[in-house]
Copies of this chain bind each other. A is one copy, B any other.
Amino acid sequence: MKGLTMFKNMMVSIALTLVSGSLLANEVAIAIHGGAGTITRANLSDEKAAEIIATLEEAVTTGHKALKDGEPSVKAIQKAIIILEDSPLFNAGRGAVFNYAGGHDLDASIMDGSTLQAGAIAGVSNIKNPILLAFDVMTQSKHVMLSGKGAENFAQSLGYEFVPQTYFATEFRRSAWERAMSKQQKDTQARLVDLDIDYKFGTVGAVALDKNGNLAAGTSTGGMTAKRWGRIGDSPVIGAGTYANNDSCAVSATGHGEFFIRYNVAADICARMEYGNKPLKQAANEVIFDELLPAKGMGGVIAIDNKGNVAMPFNTEGMYRASVDTKGTVTVAIYGL
């Protein structure tokens, strides 16, 4: 009997070692997006599609390498997002859409699922990489959300270098702005004019699971073409455009921001997992297809749970997206399946 007990204890010990070993070598995973909208093969040239795919792949593999090197998810997602902010192909950082006044207002947010710490900035005009400033709001201030000139004064206090507004400008976004302005000026009820949904798209974001099992999410955007009145969309709103909680999942959203705020999209996916015991994919699909779509709230999300499962649902024709799963499989896609 004593021998049997010892044997049992040994087995328990081996089992525990296996469990803790698997925890230490937690598999990593990452997903990114570059916006959702009316993206079809008919309106995207092969050349531009190839550029977009190459940039998405560079961003997702850079983030994935950081995770494999043992960096925390909250750092890895910044590395991925910076590549998308620096590319003129996406509506974030360089390539951001023009606001009503012909300038650029940038929004970003980030959240650490291990601490529920978060940082966000809304309406900054001269910060090259808004996601870095959102991270500094989280780590270098007692606040979560800073806005406008005040947020730039905060950046200045940290020694940020400012870029001129011309840095963000691209011809592609300028012509979209000209079309939007002409449409708004024709409309006598300008307060209520509903722009084509594609004027609102192109936001970037990333979610990741690191070796320590920690989740993080981040989002960055130039907002909506020809936006005015200091409009704030979902991207800098924690709970709407970005949410991360190790107990459930990490989410970054892209789409018609007003709907994503009203439906509390990012946090709602986490809540359906945590309180409704839904698997990630089902929770994300319910919000995108059963809640947003009937309300005509167009867009999509990237989401990752604490096992490294990835979901990337969208209710538009396409969403620029990429992921590297726990097995190391790289996926890069534009159109719906």
Q: Hey, which bits of chain A sit against chain B, CB under 8 A?
A: 111, 116-118, 122-123, 140-151, 153-154, 157-158, 191-194, 228-233, 237-240, 243, 257-258, 261-264, 267-268, 271-272, 274-276, 295
Contacts and interface: CB of A to CB of B under 8 A. Distances in A.
Given A117-B262, A142-B194, A237-B239, 8 more contacts: A140-B191, A141-B229, A143-B229, A144-B258, A145-B237, A158-B191, A238-B264, A264-B264
A275 B267 contact: no
A249 to B, nearest CB: 13
A264 B276 contact: no
Contacts of A145: 231-233, 237, 261
A154 B122 contact: no
Nearest to A105: B150
Contact of A230 (B148, B157, B229, B272): B148
20 contacts: A116-B263, A117-B262, A122-B147, A140-B192, A142-B191, A144-B257, A144-B258, A145-B237, A146-B230, A147-B148, A147-B231, A147-B232, A151-B230, A154-B228, A158-B191, A267-B271, A268-B271, A271-B272, A272-B275, A275-B275
A192 B122 CA distance: 20
A147 B123 contact: yes
A232 to B, nearest CB: 4
A122 B122 CA distance: 11
A62 B87 CA distance: 55
A123 B144 contact: no
- Most chain B CB neighbours (cut-off 10 Å) among A117, A149, A264: A264
A239 B261 contact: yes
- Most chain B CB neighbours (cut-off 10 Å) among A141, A229, A262, A268: A229
Identical copies of this chain, number = 2
A125 B154 CA distance: 20
B275 A229 contact: no
A145 B238 CA distance: 13
Contacts of A243: 264
The 9 closest A-B pairs by CB, nearest first: A150-B230, A271-B271, A147-B230, A275-B276, A275-B275, A150-B229, A239-B239, A154-B229, A145-B232
Contacts of A192: 140-142
Contacts of A122: 122, 147, 230, 232
Contacts of A263: 116
Contacts of A268: 267, 271
B262 A116 contact: yes
Given A116-B262, A238-B240, A275-B275, A193 B148 contact: no
